[in-house]
Amino acid sequence: MKLRPLHDRVIIKRLEAETKSAGGIVIPDTATEKPIKGEVVAVGAGKILENGNVRALAVKAGDKVLFGKYSGTEVKVDGEELLVMREEDLVAIIDG
């Protein structure tokens, strides 16, 4: 199955959570929070404006992004957990 987001929505695959703290302490799986970083898997065609024009999205497939802790809707496709959210729920694009 393949997902194709509509309009201004994007599909995100969460990046793996850090298993070590900055000080080198190993964090157990039960204490880790879901990561707020992810990679854009697919993007919609764009946001439909009030005048009927379509504004292209600022992100593209392959971009690494930050998003809010409780943003998006979790879906499972072919055993892979993905997030579907609006572009406005993204906080930043990670460069480098």
pLDDT, tens digit, 9 for 90 and up, residues 13-68: 988 765 665 666 766 656 556 668 899 999 998 888 899 898 988 899 999 999 98
Q: What is the dihedral sign for C-alpha 52, 4, 61, 38?
A: positive
pTM: 0.76
pLDDT, tens digit, 9 for 90 and up, residues 49-59: 899 898 988 89
Question: Token match 């971009």: residue?
Answer: 63
- Name 83's Cβ contacts closer than 8 Å, sequence gap at least 6: 11, 12, 13, 14, 38, 67, 71, 72, 73, 74, 75
